[in-house]
A and B are shown apart, each in its own frame.
Chain A
């Protein structure tokens, strides 16, 4: 037991110094298990290729320039869609949150249209816009906008009335109330909505690329499925996972935490 414990304590000390190691090391046993299972050929190779083959296809696809291009396509689509979703969603959310009439009229509709779900829109969007960038951007905007709007509304409505009153009685104009009370007060919720929205948008992008795509990581996977090549499907899944993991835990989660620390401490 002692050597095991020693290894474990060394690992704990290591991860205490470089926390990012803790998010990489657990994958090593998984990789090893994958490698052993494929080396023993428990499942047919065609169904479950090994890490070596996936790595080879990664190298060759990168070499041919297909992978970087598809990756870029996917990221650009997500970025464009997310930018539109945010630009439309936050103002809409603030309007709905601040006016109780708009809230009564639009909140049920928002819930319903969120429930329809992005992917169910694909068939009719294809009829309207054909196969291409517009359809995919529309799907992502649709996906991103609802979590942003719903969370912004929640954030705006959770600001105590007394904060509004205090600002107003100190002589703040409506614009200043918006800028100094409503926006900062709702910011933690807005960021949470953004994170959820991007998470859903990412998945919607994959679905859209699988169903109507002509390029992108989702298309790579579906194209490989048509050709019956599991190697490229696995490669696509790994890239998707790593990419989103990095975006989420290195960019979005820290932003959310920082906003929560800076503006989330307002007494509710």
Chain B
């Protein structure tokens, strides 16, 4: 076959795939368009008090206004920065600790209940004490996020490492794998699907914890924006904040975490489990 034709076919396939992608995206967005249309039509129709629920126009106006004066980007930036810092610190601590504990079955069996207990407490329950220890602000909120991610990821890493079948480890050892090779070739890849699942769950809790913590313990961030707006009955700002929170999490979860989880499981999850 001539290379030109092959190239043409690849282009055709790509175009088709793009069209499929676009049509499925359109299908995904259609219900939202209906919802927005209903919102735009029903609120003026029933003459709802704007103190109870805002009109679509006022929310859009509030959005444009807050982007123009820079408050919305500032709130979003503050929230995302906290999540990012807390998560990175938690992962840096949790994964090595989880692997270390998971290597020995005795240690992991002994410590599992402890980590289950603390992953139950993850997130919101730490807010009061975090705000006492670190004062209101960045420290307390990052601590809450750190906690939400740390315990769940450690627990999952522990679980992942300790469920790697013994014969896989024995096989690697009898092929002459040293400690580092064992770590990088058996333990980490074997535990990776669990680790990624843990990250996704932990971030889910952390995101909720973030919003709750920001309502209580800070003066910038999306949760704060919602809570202050409530004091002035500015429902348009509240609804704007809710939409921003929903869209951000949807993007984070669907475009980053879910594909990451799927790829990891496809790539490393096929290992037989004992």
- A124's contact among B29, B32, B118, B235, by CB below 8 Å, is which? B235
A-binding segment of B9-17, B80-88, B128-136, B183-191: B128-136
- List the 6 closest A-B pairs by CB distance, nearest first: A123-B230, A116-B246, A225-B128, A115-B249, A207-B212, A23-B113
Question: What is the CA–CA distance of A26 and B111 in the complex, to the nearest angstrom?
Answer: 6
Q: List 9 A-B contacts (CB under 8 A).
A: A105-B30, A115-B246, A120-B223, A203-B124, A206-B125, A210-B127, A210-B216, A237-B129, A245-B120
Report A16-29 CB contacts with B as 1/0, cut-off 8 Å.
00000011111100
- Judge if A182 is at the interface, Cβ distance under 8 Å: no
- Judge if A156 is at the interface, Cβ distance under 8 Å: no
- Judge if A159 is at the interface, Cβ distance under 8 Å: no
- Judge if B76 is at the interface, Cβ distance under 8 Å: no
- A120's contact among B123, B127, B226, B233, by CB below 8 Å, is which? B226
- B31's contact among A22, A109, A210, A222, by CB below 8 Å, is which? A109
Secondary structure at chain A's binding surface: helix, strand, loop or mixed?
A: helix
- Judge if B168 is at the interface, Cβ distance under 8 Å: no
- A119's contact among B116, B132, B211, by CB below 8 Å, is which? B211
Secondary structure at chain B's binding surface: helix, strand, loop or mixed?
A: helix
Interface residues of B in 209-253 (CB under 8 A from A): 209, 211-212, 215-216, 222-223, 226-227, 229-230, 233, 235, 238-239, 241-243, 245-247, 249-250, 253
Instruction: Determine whether the beta carbon of B32 is less than 8 Å from that of A221.
Output: no
Name A residues whose Cβ lies closer than 8 Å to a Cβ of B: 8, 22-27, 30, 47, 104-106, 108-109, 111-113, 115-124, 126-128, 200, 203-204, 206-207, 210-211, 221-222, 224-225, 228, 230, 233-234, 236-237, 240-242, 244-245, 248-249
Using CB atoms, name the residue of chain B closest to A106: B31
Question: What is the CA–CA distance of A241 and B128 in the complex, to the nearest angstrom?
Answer: 15
What are the residues of chain B within 8 A of A47 when measuring CB–CB? Answer: 132-133
- B120's contact among A27, A109, A224, A241, by CB below 8 Å, is which? A241
Question: What is the CA–CA distance of A206 and B127 in the complex, to the nearest angstrom?
Answer: 10
Interface residues of B in 90-143 (CB under 8 A from A): 106, 109-114, 116-118, 120-129, 131-133
- Judge if B267 is at the interface, Cβ distance under 8 Å: no
- Judge if B207 is at the interface, Cβ distance under 8 Å: yes
Q: A47-B132, A127-B235 are in contact. Are A8 and B106 (CB under 8 A)?
A: yes
Instruction: Determine whether the beta carbon of A26 is less than 8 Å from that of B205.
Output: no
Using CB atoms, name the residue of chain A closest to B123: A203
Question: What is the CA–CA distance of A247 and B170 in the complex, to the nearest angstrom?
Answer: 38
Using CB atoms, name the residue of chain B closest to A226: B128
- Judge if B52 is at the interface, Cβ distance under 8 Å: yes
- Judge if B169 is at the interface, Cβ distance under 8 Å: no
Instruction: Determine whether the beta carbon of B125 is less than 8 Å from that of A240.
Output: yes
Q: In the assembled complex, how far is the CB of residue A242 from the closest CB belonging to chain B, in whole angstroms?
A: 8
- Judge if B51 is at the interface, Cβ distance under 8 Å: yes
What are the residues of chain A within 8 A of B52 when measuring CB–CB? Answer: 127-128
Instruction: Determine whether the beta carbon of A126 is less than 8 Å from that of B133.
Output: no
Tally of B interface residues using CB under 8 Å: 61
What are the residues of chain A within 8 A of B175 when measuring CB–CB? Answer: none
What are the residues of chain A within 8 A of B223 when measuring CB–CB? Answer: 119-120
Please indicate which of the listed interface residues A23, A112, A236, A245 has the most CB atoms of chain B within 10 Å of its own CB: A112
Q: In the assembled complex, how far is the CB of residue A130 from the closest CB belonging to chain B, in whole angstroms?
A: 12
What are the residues of chain A within 8 A of B133 when measuring CB–CB? Answer: 47
Instruction: Determine whether the beta carbon of B226 is less than 8 Å from that of A117.
Output: no
Question: What is the CA–CA distance of A228 and B247 in the complex, to the nearest angstrom?
Answer: 37
- Judge if B35 is at the interface, Cβ distance under 8 Å: yes
Q: In the assembled complex, how far is the CB of residue B117 from the closest CB belonging to chain A, in whole angstroms?
A: 5
What are the residues of chain A within 8 A of B117 when measuring CB–CB? Answer: 27, 241-242, 245
Question: What is the CA–CA distance of A26 and B107 in the complex, to the nearest angstrom?
Answer: 10
Using CB atoms, name the residue of chain A closest to B250: A115
Question: What is the CA–CA distance of A8 and B109 in the complex, to the nearest angstrom?
Answer: 12
Instruction: Determine whether the beta carbon of A206 is less than 8 Å from that of B132.
Output: no
Q: In the assembled complex, how far is the CB of residue A101 from the closest CB belonging to chain B, in whole angstroms?
A: 11
Instruction: Determine whether the beta carbon of B132 is less than 8 Å from that of A22.
Output: no
- A245's contact among B116, B243, B247, by CB below 8 Å, is which? B116
- Judge if B254 is at the interface, Cβ distance under 8 Å: yes
Instruction: Determine whether the beta carbon of B226 is less than 8 Å from that of A123.
Output: yes
Instruction: Determine whether the beta carbon of B131 is less than 8 Å from that of A225.
Output: yes
Report B29-48 CB contacts with A as 1/0, cut-off 8 Å.
11110110000000000000
Question: What is the CA–CA distance of A170 and B3 in the complex, to the nearest angstrom?
Answer: 56
